[in-house]
Amino acid sequence: MLHSKRILIGISGGIASYKVCEVVSTLAKAGADVRVILTEGATQFISPLTFATLSRHPAYTDRSFWQPDHHRPLHIELGEWAEVFLIAPLTANTLAKLTYGLADNLLTNTVLASACPVLLAPAMNTEMWQQSTVQRNWQQIKTDSRYHILSPGAGILACDRVGTGRMAEPPEILAYLQSLLYTNGKRDLQGKRILISTGGTREHFDPVRFIGNPSTGKMGIALAQAAIHRGATVTLVHAPVQAELLAVLPSVQLIPTITADEMHQAMLSYSPEADWIIMAAAVADVRPAKVHPEKLPKRSLPDSLPLAPVPDIVADLSQRKQPHQRLIGFAAQTGDILPPAQEKLQRKRLDAIVANPIDQPNSGFGSDQNQAIFLNAQGHQVRIPPCSKLHLAHQLFEFVQAESIHRGA
């Protein structure tokens, strides 16, 4: 999703500019073609040489803007060249200029001379962020479909203040850039409410031992990211997942669960309001018939473990599905993945299913990549070769949308 992509990065004056070093370095190592513009204020925090080194290209400043050594005006050349434009950190000053279409430096002139999607990642002191004028500008620019936003988070700031104003972290920025490169900024899920489950449930038989599986929740998190980037409102019901993985979803409603029973209750509770329901979690099929309230000594562990069934979440969701809703399941399989996925699709009356192999390299549980076969109730199949889970998530949304259009939904 990044190789040979043309990414323009604008940096305005703020201490958070140090975070952009990781963004530029990661993009360049992935094969993207990166160009960097620094405002005069940005050069007081970080050297253009730093970004020139990380991007493998000269970094531009206002001094570059006024030097007559380009065949065409630099802001025109860069604006036409870019496929996506990131501005991070976005200061209150640059935000005001963008809101009113002002252009008094290379960065703001290039914004006006470009037509690609622009991703904005603000960073500033909490008091500055909360000023009514700043908030008015922020709300105004959000109405412009060209601009995509990563709202600042809360935490301790460089001024030692604890509050809102922290710039989004590099992993969140990188994922959004990849989405914009894939979708070209379209918000085709605007107004959709999407409910997603993810992670592997745990069925304890004492406080420290449980029946589980290797699911990390990465696929469901990628689905949530892709949906948010396409304009949807997302609720994510998750089994135990590492906190740093969930940190990239600040605008997603997170519902934590542990057991299949808890996930069952949460999914049924939130499903009536959803337009699409995607069951990406790896849910246990059985649980210990008896749960011990205290840790069993090793000598007391049973030779056999009686098991009991857990609720079939997908089957119950299918029975309650409303006509306008779409229900998508996952089938993690080994060997020939197609027949069991087809059987599950029909038996549970799903609108679509994702069959993905867990016995192939760089696929399935724990991997950052995946591969799959998409199937829908009309018999349409699409084979997805190995790709990032975010890329696969975008392709799944397009597959489901095409089926919905065909059905007139």
Q: What is the pLDDT of residues 10-49, one digit of tens each?
A: 999 999 999 999 999 999 999 999 999 999 999 999 999 9
The reported pLDDT for the residue numbered 90 is 97
Amino acid (one-letter) located at 190: Q
Over residues 304-329, mean pLDDT: 96
CA atoms within 13 A on the CB side of 274: 26
pLDDT: which is higher, 71 or 317: 317
> Going by DSSP bridges, is the β-strand pair 84-90/118-122 parallel, antiparallel, or unpaired?
parallel
Residue 339 scores a pLDDT above 70: yes
Residue 391 scores a pLDDT above 70: yes
Over residues 352-370, mean pLDDT: 92
The reported pLDDT for the residue numbered 405 is 54
Spatial separation of the C-alpha atoms in residues 13 and 38, rounded to whole Å: 8
Asked which of 41-55, 78-92, 151-165, 379-393 is least confident by mean pLDDT, the reply is 151-165
- pLDDT-derived band at 65 (thresholds 50, 70, 90) equals confident
Catalytic residue numbers read 159
- How many percent of the chain have pLDDT more than 70? 98
Q: How many residues does the chain have?
A: 409
Residue 160 scores a pLDDT above 90: no
Task: Spell out the domains of the chain, with CATH numbers in brackets.
Answer: 6-183 (3.40.50.1950), 193-407 (3.40.50.10300)
The reported pLDDT for the residue numbered 402 is 87
Name every residue whose Cβ is closer than 8 Å to that of residue 67 and which is 6 or more positions away in sequence. none
The reported pLDDT for the residue numbered 252 is 96
The reported pLDDT for the residue numbered 159 is 76
The reported pLDDT for the residue numbered 142 is 95
The reported pLDDT for the residue numbered 404 is 64
Residue 50 scores a pLDDT above 90: yes
What's the whole-model pTM score?
0.94
- pLDDT-derived band at 66 (thresholds 50, 70, 90) equals confident
Spatial separation of the C-alpha atoms in residues 279 and 379, rounded to whole Å: 20
Q: Count CB neighbours of 307 within 10 A.
A: 15
Answer yes or no: are the C-beta atoms of 153 and 164 closer than 8 Å. Answer: yes
The reported pLDDT for the residue numbered 69 is 66
Average pLDDT, the chain: 94
Q: Count CB neighbours of 286 within 10 A.
A: 14
Angstrom distances, CA of residue 18 to CA of 2, 51, 157, 170, 198: 22, 10, 14, 10, 33
Over residues 292-307, mean pLDDT: 92
Over residues 194-215, mean pLDDT: 96
- pLDDT-derived band at 157 (thresholds 50, 70, 90) equals confident
Residue 408 scores a pLDDT above 60: no
| Angle subtended by helix axes 17-29 and 170-183, to nearest 10 | 50
The reported pLDDT for the residue numbered 165 is 81
- pLDDT-derived band at 407 (thresholds 50, 70, 90) equals low
Per the rule left: phi > 0, alpha: psi between -120 and 50, beta: everything else, 231 is: left
Over residues 275-287, mean pLDDT: 96
The reported pLDDT for the residue numbered 213 is 93
- How many percent of the chain have pLDDT more than 90? 89
| Of residues 152, 109, 126, the one with CA closest to residue 10 | 109
Residue 67 scores a pLDDT above 90: no
The reported pLDDT for the residue numbered 164 is 87
Whose structure tokens read 């489950």?
A: 197
Q: What would the pLDDT profile of 208-259 be if each residue is shown by its tens digit?
A: 999 999 999 999 999 999 999 999 999 999 999 999 999 999 899 999 999 9
Residue 380 scores a pLDDT above 60: yes
Q: Count CB neighbours of 134 within 10 A.
A: 19
Over residues 185-208, mean pLDDT: 96
Residue 403 scores a pLDDT above 90: no
